[in-house]
Amino acid sequence: MKKIIFIWLTVICVSVIAVANELQTGPETLEDKYPLYRNLELLADVITIVQKSYVKEVSAHDLIHGAIRGVVNTLDAHSQFLEPDEYHDMKIETEGEFGGLGIEITLKDGFLTVVTPLEDTPAYQAGIKPEDRIIKIDGTSTEDITLNEAVKKLRGEPGTKVILTIMRKDKKEFLDFTIERSFIKLASIKDAQVIDNDIGYIRIVQFQENTLPDTKKAIEKLAPQCQSGIILDLRNNPGGLLQSAVDIASLFIAAPHLIVSTKGRLPDQNQEFISTEENTLTDLPLVIILNKGSASGSEIVAGAIKDWHRGILIGTQSFGKGSVQSVLPLRDGSALKLTTATYFTPRGTNINKIGIKPDIEIPISEEEEKALWEATAKRKKDNGDIDLKLDPQLQRAIDLLKGLYVFKETTADETANSEPVTAL
């Protein structure tokens, strides 16, 4: 095996040198024109030395995958090299099922950071919050950890436990959370009901393949009773599939309006996603609720609604993830999750690392948030009603829609009772 690998690497080196000699013209060498070739020769040298001299035998598979991982880790926090099993898990996740703790994580400012805990998962129930920084996993520091390494440490057999050491804003001391892993089946829509007699309330927790049909079913059921409008709750929604987010925005924005555009280095990465949905709810008043756990796809929907003045955004500033990742399968079953483009709202705004500021900012204290989360979990368990006293953001959304409805009715009555005007 060693001999075969050595011959293969030697062929690469000889080929590179041959091409260099052939293409060298005057003072401009191949290294000047194509520096990648010279560096590939260097990489081949390193792999050959490791194969020959390292203290333990290392397989070609591990060396090549390690080299690929090293390349990807020099890029950005959202690009990843996925081993075959990780790629398989990722595909399952987009369909709504996966194993683990139930948190979306990223690398932010050099720290392993929680984007959001997914509702009704072990992490959510344990009290993990958006923007928590994971300092240790089972007592081991996460300094210089990669996303892949973190995922491997956090995943495991259902029933096993992991200890997360958290650094949280406004807390002087680190917090330890012991969380038991479980198999997670995540529904795209967590809540769809009529509240306050005539307002439709839909909470989308992630954008998956089934989000559009599920949302359509919910709207079809609620619409006859939604005279005052609809509240779309995107709090703690970390995103998901770009097309799914575009589809949801299209339900409320008439065709053909721009929902989001993407720009990258290659022509096929420069795209415009246009609303194409028929029978859109363009006349129904709309309020969207955001918070710091609303990211990516949530920000695409919110950005389109805000730019086209289609509804009102309330809550707190969103997370700020304005990049697009493409998943590129590789020949051995692994894949690259690569940042290939940046997305822009209809008015050309990139919100990466900035987020979307709501039209009406309604902060919520840590104590209020904790009480709300506990009440939500209890309500789900007991099949109870929403306690609006514990949710000031939702209460404000209801007040807004009620006010808009009264204004609309009053204006309609005044118009109907007014004297006709004749132009002279």
Q: Using H for helix, E for strand and C for coil, what is the string for 186-216?
A: CCCEEEEEEECCCEEEEEECCECCCHHHHHH
Contact 247, 274 (CB under 8 A): no
What is the spatial distance between Cα 253 and Cα 237, in angstroms, rounded to a whole number? 20
**Given the residues 228, 244, 296, 323, the one annotated as active site:** 296
Q: Quick one: pLDDT at residue 97?
A: 60
Mean per-residue pLDDT for 307-335?
Answer: 94
**Given the residues 120, 233, 307, 391, the one annotated as active site:** 307
Judged against a pLDDT cut of 60, whether residue 13 lies above it is answered with: no
Tokens standing for residue 104? 């979306």
Q: What are phi and psi of 347, to 5 degrees?
A: -90, 15
Q: Quick one: pLDDT at residue 109?
A: 84
Measured in whole angstroms, the distance separating CA 206 from the mean position of its chain's CA atoms is: 8
The owner of tokens 């995103």 is: 239
**Given the residues 190, 292, 306, 321, the one annotated as active site:** 321
Q: What is the pTM of this model?
A: 0.71
Q: pLDDT digits over 28-62, tens only?
A: 555 555 677 778 888 889 999 999 999 999 998 89
Percent of the chain at pLDDT above 70?
83
Mean per-residue pLDDT for 153-164?
Answer: 90
Q: Quick one: pLDDT at residue 151?
A: 84
Radius of gyration of the chain (CA): 26
Q: Quick one: pLDDT at residue 24?
A: 44
Calculate the average pLDDT of the chain.
Answer: 83
Who wins on pLDDT, 28 or 117? 117
Q: Is residue 321 annotated as part of the catalytic site, yes or no?
A: yes
The owner of tokens 């990780």 is: 86
Structural domains in the chain, sorted by start: 2-58 (no CATH), 97-185 (2.30.42.10), 189-326+339-408 (3.90.226.10)
Q: Quick one: pLDDT at residue 421?
A: 39
What is the spatial distance between Cα 143 and Cα 137, in angstroms, rounded to a whole number? 11
Q: Quick one: pLDDT at residue 305?
A: 97
Q: Is residue 79 annotated as part of the catalytic site, yes or no?
A: no
Judged against a pLDDT cut of 70, whether residue 274 lies above it is answered with: yes
What is the spatial distance between Cα 234 and Cα 206, in angstroms, rounded to a whole number? 9
Q: Is residue 337 annotated as part of the catalytic site, yes or no?
A: no
